[in-house]
């Protein structure tokens, strides 16, 4: 073998001891991983996020399946058993009307999760739409939407929420709409910033030169590149919605009887917290567990969609 041949062979990539010619002979091929597969592989390496996802799924399943198989109805009173502590018949105890707190916690968790996911859907839709319009069109459209965003940032959100809740908030639907109309601002700012960067990229200019309209460019070319940050922000909104719903219930401005939620259960449990703290601590513990799981899940999704933000872990 000549020196030229040796140098040529030395410069060839070696895959598992096989040269490219050997790979072709064996019928093998090297295919690049898709973005979705790379994202999934990065996510599954985030062990805390996986644990958080499992915990969150188990909680949600228990909230939806539990009321159907519970021994008692969540609104079934029994004065004889009022304010009992945990027992075999009532694992979480009973409230001041003798209603089973296990059944009420499961039902309340179902309502809280329903509100949180509805809020996330509404706020994501509003924020994505307004952020995309502001970032893509700019000028007067951007100025108008930015002023609306600034208004929401200047006025304390809780004040807006309390005033609106006094006027309209008393049902699951109204609380969901109110919170969704309040929590869209972070997503709008996020999407606007991404659009400002992406709309000047070559693939957008090529689509525009090919005759694509603004709607097609936004929906088909720009928004798919912003899905990752939107998903991360949406998960965080779910946790925020649960906390705000509990805040409204604490001030008796949220979900009203006969409906219940985790926030309502905490508010009711505070009336006898000195004698039986489990009435408030159990639903409060579920809220803490849900919010922590969602935050850890959001952290894992952030690292998976944007590997440049990954932190070194031991």
- pLDDT, position 12: 46
Say if 16 falls within a structural domain: no
Say if 88 falls within a structural domain: yes
- pLDDT, position 221: 87
Say if 35 falls within a structural domain: no
Domain tally, the chain: 1
Say if 101 falls within a structural domain: yes
- pLDDT, position 26: 52
- pLDDT, position 163: 83
d(CA 153, CA 116): 21
Say if 72 falls within a structural domain: yes
**Rounded to 5 degrees, what are φ and ψ at 306?**
-130, 90
Say if 145 falls within a structural domain: yes
CB within 8 A of 256, min separation 6: which ones?
Answer: 170, 171
10-residue mean pLDDT series, the chain (314 residues)? 47 47 50 74 88 94 88 84 81 86 92 94 95 92 92 81 79 89 93 90 86 87 88 92 88 81 88 81 93 92 71 40
- pLDDT, position 171: 81
**Cβ–Cβ < 8 Å for 207, 217:** yes
**Cβ–Cβ < 8 Å for 261, 255:** yes
- pLDDT, position 141: 93
- pLDDT, position 30: 53
> What CATH code is carried by the domain that includes residue 192?
1.10.3720.10
Query: Residue 242: which domain range?
Result: 50-307
Say if 313 falls within a structural domain: no
In DSSP terms, 18 is beta-bridged to 15
Say if 6 falls within a structural domain: no
**Angle, vertex CA 36, rays to CA 211 and CA 209, nearest 5:** 10
């Amino acid at each position: 073998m000549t020196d030229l041949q040796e140098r040529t062979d030395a410069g060839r990539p070696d895959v598992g001891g096989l040269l490219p010619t050997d790979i072709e002979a064996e019928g093998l091929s090297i295919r690049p991983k898709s973005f979705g597969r790379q994202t999934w592989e990065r996510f599954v390496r985030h062990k805390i996020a996986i644990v958080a996802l499992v915990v969150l799924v188990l909680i949600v399943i228990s909230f939806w399946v539990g009321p159907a198989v519970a021994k008692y109805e969540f609104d079934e009173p029994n004065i004889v058993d009022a304010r009992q502590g945990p027992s075999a018949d009532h694992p979480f105890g009973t409230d001041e009307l003798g209603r089973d707190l296990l059944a009420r916690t499961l039902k309340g968790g179902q309502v809280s999760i329903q509100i949180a996911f509805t809020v996330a859907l509404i706020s994501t839709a509003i924020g994505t739409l307004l952020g995309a319009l502001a970032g893509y069109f700019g000028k007067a459209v951007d100025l108008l939407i930015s002023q609306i965003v600034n208004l929401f940032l200047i006025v304390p959100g809780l004040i807006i929420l309390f005033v609106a809740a006094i006027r309209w908030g008393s049902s699951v639907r109204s609380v969901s709409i109110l919170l969704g109309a309040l929590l869209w601002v972070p997503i709008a700012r996020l999407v606007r910033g991404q659009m400002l960067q992406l709309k000047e990229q070559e693939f957008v200019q090529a689509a525009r030169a090919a005759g694509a309209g603004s709607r097609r460019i936004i929906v088909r070319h720009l928004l798919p590149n912003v899905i990752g940050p939107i998903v991360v922000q949406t998960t965080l909104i779910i946790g925020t919605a649960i906390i705000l719903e509990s805040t409204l219930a604490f001030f008796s401005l949220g979900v009203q009887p006969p409906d219940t939620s985790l926030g309502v259960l905490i508010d009711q449990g505070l009336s006898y917290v000195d004698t039986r703290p489990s009435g408030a601590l159990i639903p409060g513990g579920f809220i803490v567990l849900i919010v922590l799981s969602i935050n850890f899940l959001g952290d894992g999704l952030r690292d998976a969609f944007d590997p440049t933000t990954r932190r070194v872990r031991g």
